[in-house]
Structure formats: structure tokens, C-alpha cells
Amino acid sequence: MTNILETKSLSISFGNLKAVSDVSMNVAASSITALIGPNGAGKTTLFGLLSGFLAPTAGSVTFNDHDVTGMLPYRMCRLGLARTFQIAMPFASQTVRENIAVGAHLHEKKRGAALEFADAIAERVGLTDQLGKSASSLTVGGRKRLELARALATRPTLLLLDEVLAGLNPQEVAGMIPVIRGICADGVTVLMIEHVMQAVMNLASHVWVLAGGQLIANGTPGEVTRDPHVIEAYLGHGMATRIAQMGRDEVSHV
Amino acid sequence: MKLQHTVIAVVAVLGAFALAPVVISSGFLLSLLIMVLLTTLMAQAWNILGGFGGQLSFGHAAFFGTGAYAMAILQVHAGLNAWLALVLALAASAILGAVIGGLAFRYGLRGSYFSLVTLAIAELLRILANAVPFTGAGVGIQLPLHASLSSLQFADKTGYLYFLLAFVAIGFALSLWLRHSRFGAYLLATRDSESSAQALGINVQRIKLLATAISAFLMGVAGVFYVQYFQYIDPGIAYGTAFSVQALVAAVIGGTATVFGPLLGALALQILGELTRNLMGGAPGVSLVIYGALLVLMVMFFPRGVAGVLKKR
């Protein structure tokens, strides 16, 4: 399988703080890949580096065989790499349809065509009923869908989703899972930062784990959730052995 | 409103202004209409950058004054034909806009910082115009009177009204274009969230720079008209705060980022200006006090301007 995205020793420091350090990872084309890690691990910073919002202090990013290290975000988007933001930032003065049309305009110069394309995208993410509403009137769930729709409207080949499921209730999460799977089925590679493990287990074929700015594990969802390093990163030092101990104790009680 | 309906409404309004000289013979009323149109033009100009683009300029006089001075200097000192001078003067305003926009946005100036820089540039130009010889310094420049179409001067007010109306029509066309084009959508998106706009493939610096240049071009037209109409310009008129404030206040009162807002705001300001002049006997500075009070009231109670109030009904 070919990789659509590759990083080599990617690092960024803010003063003395190494927010992302020596990250070499890759994303297979047409896959759903997850990036997980405890709060403050540097996931969103890494997304910033991948999408051009931050310039790395060292290392490189390769997208579709182009070296895109330090390239500006709008150029990345034109190459086919779109991202969403953790905190949804809709164009508040505009309707949902107009919001999505902004993304659609990347490939549609004509206003009418862009608005029509927006309608088609809205259908894919389940926003059809909200098209005429002001974007500022949307609920958190609606805003997340709008983030996704706008990015999708730029017709990306790689979509970076920054916690599109955070803040949604279980029902809304269940509603979004098939949407994301559908996007991948249409040939768009998805790299998602996610805390909702149910979704990660359900969607991702490969998982990268970031902690303290460094990659500590990667593999299938099943592999990484059993990895002692990952358990310690989430639950604290020594927890992996204690959990293993507890497991043995339970077995011996039976 | 749908595009066709808006276009019909714009054509109707422009038609009404075009018919005005036929119906109205009062010189006072024609002067008032001309001032309304001039304020509309300035508000339309400000609205492109400040309304659609969300970059609040406090120094649009920089573009007004540059258009006016270029028009006057090219005719008086360089002896150019008025039409050629018009083209060059508008180019000068637009280029100044592109340079200011280019530098300000290149260095990430936003919000109140951008406002202050525009204010400072207009003041800087006022001081320069007062100091250098070719602007006539404090004495200003007088344009020789020569009423003919080739010199863009007219024997009666009707000619000036049509001259102005042609450019107000361009202002309307630009507003309509912004409401129904990719560039307009990109400009609004940049205003609402620059990060989101960038993430969607928008070169926000370029969009803001172009918006500044277009806005400056239209404000330059107002300056050019002023010189042709009053045949006089000096640093205080050209680069003083009066026109910066008038452009901003009319646009905000009328309703930002709307097609009809500038006209509605200009009507409100000019009618109010006439009323206060009659009531207060033209005490100096009274109009600025009124503008200020009106701006505060509108922003507090009708932030979407007159156009917003009318739309709600």
C-alpha cells in the first residue's frame, strides 16, 4: 500500500518546550488512520505542522510525493489536503449553504455551481435540513458536521479531522461513524485525532499514539490498546504492570 | 433577496436619480442630491474593505486625498487632459491601497492595529501635503474653471450629477458582484474566520490586498469628483479626518456588507446634516458631534444598520 502522507523526524519547539519531537509517521492511501494520545500530547500541534499552519523547526512532510514542509495552508489545501479545527469556526454571518460553498469554490468558480455542490455535500454529512440556517445557530454537533462539510467541499484526497466527534452525544457519534466511513469509501484518505475510543476502534485500520510530543506506539487499534507504553501514557507510570497484576489476581480468585 | 430582484431595485434607484434633474429645478436640492451621491460613493468604497472585508479603516481619506491631489496636480502642473488625469488618479489611489494593504496584511496587522495604521497614514499624507511644494502646501491647488466635457467640468449641476451617478452605479455593481461571486464569498469568509478561510484554500493576504485596492479605487473616484466639482483641494480637505469619518459612519449606519446600506446611510447623514445646519446655524464641528452620537446609537440598538432594520420588517 502506498503512503499518501509521510513525515520524517518532524519537530517543533516553542522556546524550550518541544511540543512535537522527532515524529516519523505515515498514512496509507485510502485508509482511515487515527492519531490518539492523552491531553497535551501534541496532536493538534502535529496537525498544524501537517496542514501548514505551523512551520517545523526540523524534519519534513511529504504529501503525495511532494515535499510540502513549511508550505502555507491555502497551498496545501489546493494540493488536496484539507483539515478541520477542533474548535469549530464557522463563517458566522453566513448560512450553512454559503459556508460549504466557500469550500466548493476551490474548484467551482461560478457561484451557482458552488452552491449546488454545497447541497450535494450537505446531503453526504447530513446537513440538508440546516442548509438555509445561519451557521451561528447550529448546535455543537451541527458545527462539527459543518466543519467536515466545508473541508469535504474542497474535494481533498487527504482529510485531517481534529476531534470531529468531541462534544457529541453517543447518538450523534453513532450517526457520524457511517459518514466518516462513507467519505473513506469514496476514496478520501482520513487521518483523525480522536478521543472517542469507540469510534477509533470502529473506524481506524491503523493507529498512531502520541505522548509528550513523541510517537510511542503504532499498530492496529487492538495492538495499541494492549501496548504497555500506551496504557502507561494514559493512566500513569507503572499502571501497565499493575493492571496485568490485577488481571492475574482476578484469574486466581476464580 | 434574489440577484434579479436586487438588480431591478438598483436599476430603479439609479433611474430615479437620473430623472431627478428633469423633475427638480431647485439648485439647493440638486446640490443635496450630489452630496448624497458623493457620500454614497465613499460609503460604498469603505463598505468593500470595512463591511465585506471586516478591515476597519479609519483613514480612507488617504485614498480620497490621493485621488484628488493626483487629479489636480496632473491637470494643473502636468497639463494633462482631464480624462487621462482621471485614469491615472484612480490608478494612483488603487496602487496606494494595494501598497498599504500589502504591507499591513503582510505583517499581520488586524483589528484596531489596522485601523490605527490607516489613520496614521492619512495623517502622514496630510502633513506631507502641507510640506511639499507641488501640492501648493497649505494654500492648496485651484483648478482653472473650464466647463466642457473634455475637461470633465460642467456648466450646471446636472452634468456633475450624471458624472457621479455613473461611478455610484459602478459602486453598486461592485457590491452586487461581492454578494454573488467567488471573490465576495472569499472576502466574507476571510472576515469571519481567517484560519478557516486559509484551511479552505483561500490566500487571505491576496484577498485582503485586492479588497483594499478596489476600495481605494472607489474612494479615489470621490476625491477626483471633489476636485472637479469644487475646483479646489487643500491638505485639510484631502487628508483630514472629515471624509474618513463620513465614509465610515455612512457605511455603518446604512448597514455593512449590504448593497443598499451605503446609499441609505448617505441619505440619513445628509438629511440629518441639513436639519442640524438649519437648527444649529452651522456651528463648526457640529456635524461630527451628530455623526458620533448617531454612530453610537446605531451600533448599540441597530448593529445591522438601516438596511438591517428594513430587512427585518
DSSP symbols for B10-28: HHHHHHHHHHHHHH---HH
Contact by Cβ (8 Å): B210, B86: no
Q: Which residues pair with A219 in a beta bridge?
A: A207
d(CA A241, CA B51): 61
Of the candidates B181, B193, B201, which has its C-beta nearest A106's C-beta?
Answer: B201
A98 in contact with chain B, both atoms CB, cutoff 8 A: yes
How many degrees, rounded to 5, is the angle at CA B281 between CA B278 and CA B283? 130
A77 in contact with chain B, both atoms CB, cutoff 8 A: yes
Helix (H, G, I), strand (E, B), or coil: what is residue A160? strand
Rounded (10°) angle between helices B204-230 and B182-192: 110
Q: Which residue of B has its CA nearest to A88?
A: B196
Residue-level pLDDT at B281: 67
**Burial class of residue A31 (count of CB atoms within 10 Å of its CB; 0-12, 13-18, 19+):** middle
Of the candidates B185, B193, B199, which has its C-beta nearest A101's C-beta?
Answer: B185
A132 in contact with chain B, both atoms CB, cutoff 8 A: no
User: Over its length of 254 residues, how does chain A's per-residue pLDDT go in tens digits?
Assistant: 689 999 999 999 998 899 999 999 999 999 999 999 998 899 999 999 999 999 999 999 999 999 999 999 999 999 999 999 999 999 998 999 999 999 999 999 999 999 999 999 999 999 999 999 999 999 998 999 999 999 999 999 999 999 999 888 889 899 999 999 999 999 999 999 998 888 899 899 999 999 999 999 999 999 998 888 888 888 887 777 787 787 777 666 65
Of the candidates B192, B198, B200, which has its C-beta nearest A94's C-beta?
Answer: B192
User: Is residue B269 scored above 60 in pLDDT?
Assistant: yes
Residue A163 is among the residues annotated as catalytic for this protein: yes
Of the candidates A82, A98, A114, which has its C-beta nearest B199's C-beta?
Answer: A82
Question: Which range has the worst mean pLDDT, A75-89, B247-261, B273-287?
Answer: B273-287
- DSSP class of residue A168? -
Q: Which residue of B has its CA nearest to A100?
A: B200
Chain A contact probe: residue of B105, B196, B207 with most A CBs at under 10 A? B196
Cβ distance A91 to B189 less than 8 Å, yes or no, reads yes
- Amino acid identity of B305? G
Taking contacts as CB-CB distances below 8 angstroms, the residues of chain A near B198 are 53, 72-74, 77
Window 135-164 of A, Cβ < 8 Å to B: 150-151, 153-154
Residue-level pLDDT at A8: 94
Backbone φ, ψ for residue A81 (5° rounding): -110, 110
Model pTM score: 0.90
d(CA A44, CA A35): 10
Cβ distance A91 to B204 less than 8 Å, yes or no, reads no
Which residue ranges make up each domain of chain A?
3-253
Taking contacts as CB-CB distances below 8 angstroms, the residues of chain A near B196 are 85, 89-91, 150
Q: Mean pLDDT, to the nearest integer, of B92-108?
A: 93
Mean of per-residue pLDDT scores for chain B: 90
- Amino acid identity of A60? S
Of the candidates B180, B192, B199, which has its C-beta nearest A83's C-beta?
Answer: B199
**Burial class of residue A91 (count of CB atoms within 10 Å of its CB; 0-12, 13-18, 19+):** buried
Residue-level pLDDT at B148: 81
Q: How many other CB atoms are there within 10 angstroms of residue B108's CB atom?
A: 10
Window 4-43 of A, Cβ < 8 Å to B: none
Backbone φ, ψ for residue A134 (5° rounding): -70, 140
CATH of domain A3-253: 3.40.50.300
Taking contacts as CB-CB distances below 8 angstroms, the residues of chain A near B186 are 102, 105
Residue-level pLDDT at B196: 95
- Of A163, A223, A232, A250, catalytic: A163
Q: Which residue of B has its CA nearest to A160?
A: B199
Q: How far is B192 from chain A (nearest CA, A)?
A: 5
pLDDT in tens, B137-177: 878 898 888 888 888 888 888 899 999 999 999 999 999 99
Alpha helices in B107-156 (DSSP H): 111-131
Spell out the CATH class of B3-247.
Answer: mainly alpha
Taking contacts as CB-CB distances below 8 angstroms, the residues of chain B near A90 are 192-193, 196
A145 to A119, A189, A238: CA distances (angstroms): 13, 18, 39
HSE of B142, CA atoms in CB hemisphere, 13 A: 3
Residue-level pLDDT at B151: 81
A102 in contact with chain B, both atoms CB, cutoff 8 A: yes
Contact by Cβ (8 Å): A153, A123: no
Contact by Cβ (8 Å): B269, B257: no
Q: Which residues pair with A61 in a beta bridge?
A: A7
CB pairs under 8 A between A and B: 79
Q: Which residue of B has its CA nearest to A87?
A: B196
Q: Which residue of A has its CA nearest to B191?
A: A91
Cell 497535551 identifies what position? A40
- Quote the radius of gyration of chain A (alpha carbons, Å): 19
Exposure string for A37-73, b = 16+ CB within 10 A, e = fewer: beeebbbbbbbbbbbbbbebeebebbbbeeebbebbb
